Amino acid sequence: MKRSSIFSEAWRDITSGTSRTISCLAILAVLAIMVTMFDLNTVVGLQHQAQQWVSTGSSIHILAQEQEINPVSCGALTEASGKGENEKRIHPIQSAGALREDNDVISRCHAECAS
């Protein structure tokens, strides 16, 4: 069968309504919109979870090494920068500081947890 006869037959089916082109296009459009909305909902949900992750402090990393951390150097970590997208300078560390152990807090926790 020639290509021209295939295209002419397809065109006759579309114009006469035999192929139900409008119905098929409407169903395809509804399905495409539904899939797009589902995907958009998933992306928004993931972004919300990421914001919760950061806002609750779950993205905090604690590095510990006994008597080996210099408080001045630790505080200067916020000045560190790197390169992000488009060679833009970024500061990935938003806050830093040296911590010390407080035995009073630990003993109060043990007393409260025991009761």
Question: Residue 108 domain-assigned?
Answer: no
Q: Which residues of the chain have pLDDT under 50?
A: 107-109
> How many structural domains does the chain have?
2
Question: Residue 114 domain-assigned?
Answer: no
Copy the structure tokens of residue 30: 């509804």
Same domain flag for 41 and 73: no
Same domain flag for 50 and 73: no
pLDDT computed for residue 113 by the predictor: 55
**pTM value > 0.85:** no
Same domain flag for 43 and 83: no
pLDDT computed for residue 63 by the predictor: 67
Residue 44 belongs to domain spanning:
1-55
pLDDT computed for residue 47 by the predictor: 94
Tell me the sheet residues that pair with 83. 89
pLDDT computed for residue 35 by the predictor: 98
pLDDT computed for residue 46 by the predictor: 95
pLDDT computed for residue 84 by the predictor: 66
Same domain flag for 31 and 74: no
